[in-house]
């Protein structure tokens, strides 16, 4: 190597001269899911064995072989050997470069549901939830018959899911009025216009019961109509059906006598 000028030939020669050994360095950046905390790792390898590592979290070198341990010890003595600035010059720059175009904007999933309703006070609460959106920065508001609601509104922070996504929950305390229209309005940069989710009121219990009873009688009516039709069709065959009904009455007398006999036998056994 020392004899060589830095030419292409020299590089080729040095490749051959290492005779199958090789050295490599790894630079790695670890980001927490919210991209706030960054850890920079610089690893030195020889023949696939990592012998020395710099870790920005501890701001220290660690050796994994005898040689690596000796190097780490001497490197740790002088703060000038710190590679902490890579956190900014390498990891953070890359983060800013990639995160804006790698992480797409993701639309929220919006649901509106009722949390409680107290018949005495006529006070109700609605919950509007926006799930799994990205990036952070959302606006959730309530509309009642076309007007923005300002009273009785409260909200959680934007919560990190633990992956790249966020969720938020907004509450509305209100006194219900019949026939009104309440909607949750969500504004986010992933949406070209506000997403409006209208509260779908479930049917009141007595109306639901009426509906169930109605369906029951409808099904019963259809069943009776079908049975009547079949009876009419069988009745038109005359003699055959009479024969059948006689068979049935015979069978029933036989089973009655059987049960009397078994009752008698159980008395005698006692
Ligand atoms: C860096 O050091 C921190 C603190 O000791 C540790 O939690 C983390 O796992 C280390 N990272 C690597 C890649 O060794
Ligand atoms: C309720 O209000 C929202 C927003 O004002 C509107 O988009 C929606 O069509 C309304 N729904 C009904 C049933 O009136």
pTM equals: 0.46
- Ligand 1 center to residue 57 CA distance, Å? 6
Instruction: Decide which of 3.90.660.10, 2.60.40.10, 3.20.10.10, 3.40.640.10 is the CATH code for 109-198.
Output: 2.60.40.10
Per-residue pLDDT at 201: 79
Going from N- to C-terminal start, the domains of the chain cover: 8-103, 109-198
The rounded distance, in Å, linking the Cα atoms of 17 and 21 is: 9
Ligand lying nearest the CA atom of residue 183: 2
Q: Whose CA is nearest to atom 12 of ligand 1?
A: 55
CA gyration radius for the chain? 40
* Per-residue pLDDT tens digits for 71-82: 999 999 999 999
Nearest atom (ligand 1) to Cα of 28:
13
Per-residue pLDDT at 16: 45
Name the residue with higher pLDDT: 261 or 98: 98
Per-residue pLDDT at 49: 92
Name the residue with higher pLDDT: 231 or 11: 231
- Ligand 2 center to residue 157 CA distance, Å? 27
Task: With beta carbons less than 8 A apart as the criterion, state whether 35 and 94 touch.
Answer: no
Q: Does the structure show a pLDDT above 60 at 175?
A: yes
Name the residue with higher pLDDT: 15 or 122: 122
Mean predicted lDDT score pLDDT of the chain: 81
Task: With beta carbons less than 8 A apart as the criterion, state whether 156 and 97 touch.
Answer: no
Q: Is the CB of 58 under 6 A from ligand 1?
A: yes
Per-residue pLDDT at 182: 95
Nearest atom (ligand 1) to Cα of 55:
1
Which protein residues touch ligand 2 with a CB less than 6 Å away? 143, 146, 181, 183, 196, 198
Q: How confident is the model at residue 208 (pLDDT cuts 50, 70, 90)?
A: confident
Q: How confident is the model at residue 21 (pLDDT cuts 50, 70, 90)?
A: confident
Quick one: what percent of the chain has pLDDT higher than 90?
A: 50
Q: Does the structure show a pLDDT above 80 at 178?
A: yes
The rounded distance, in Å, linking the Cα atoms of 194 and 140 is: 10
**Residues 247-264, mean pLDDT to the nearest whole number:** 45
Name the residue with higher pLDDT: 265 or 173: 173
List the end-to-end C-alpha distance of the chain, in Å, as a whole number: 113
**Residues 116-130, mean pLDDT to the nearest whole number:** 81
Is CATH 3.10.320.10 correct for 8-103? yes
Q: Does the structure show a pLDDT above 90 at 197?
A: yes
């Amino acid at each position: 190597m020392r004899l060589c000028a830095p030419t292409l030939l020299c590089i080729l020669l040095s490749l051959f001269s290492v005779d199958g050994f090789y050295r490599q360095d790894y630079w790695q950046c670890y980001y927490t899911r919210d991209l706030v905390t960054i850890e920079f790792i610089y690893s030195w390898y020889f023949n696939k064995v990592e012998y020395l590592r710099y870790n920005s979290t501890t701001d220290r070198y660690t050796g994994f072989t005898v040689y690596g341990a000796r190097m780490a010890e001497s490197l740790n003595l002088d703060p000038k050997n710190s590679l902490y600035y890579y956190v900014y010059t390498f990891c953070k720059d890359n983060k800013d470069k990639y995160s804006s175009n790698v992480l797409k904007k993701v639309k929220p999933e919006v649901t509106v549901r009722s949390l409680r309703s107290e018949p005495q006070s006529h006070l109700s609460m609605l919950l509007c939830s926006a799930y799994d959106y990205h990036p952070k920065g959302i606006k959730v508001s309530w509309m009642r018959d076309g007007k923005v609601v300002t009273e009785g509104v409260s909200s959680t922070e934007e919560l990190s899911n633990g992956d790249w996504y966020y969720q938020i929950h907004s509450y509305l305390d209100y006194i219900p009025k019949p026939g009104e229209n309440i909607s949750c309005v969500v504004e986010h940069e992933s949406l070209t216009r506000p997403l409006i989710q209208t509260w779908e009121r479930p049917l009141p219990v007595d109306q639901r019961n009426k509906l169930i009873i109605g369906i029951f009688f409808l099904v019963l009516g259809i069943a009776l109509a079908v049975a009547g039709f079949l009876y009419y069709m069988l009745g038109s065959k005359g003699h055959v059906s009479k024969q059948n009904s006689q068979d049935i009455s015979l069978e029933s007398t036989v089973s009655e006598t059987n049960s009397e006999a078994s009752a008698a036998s159980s008395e005698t056994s006692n």
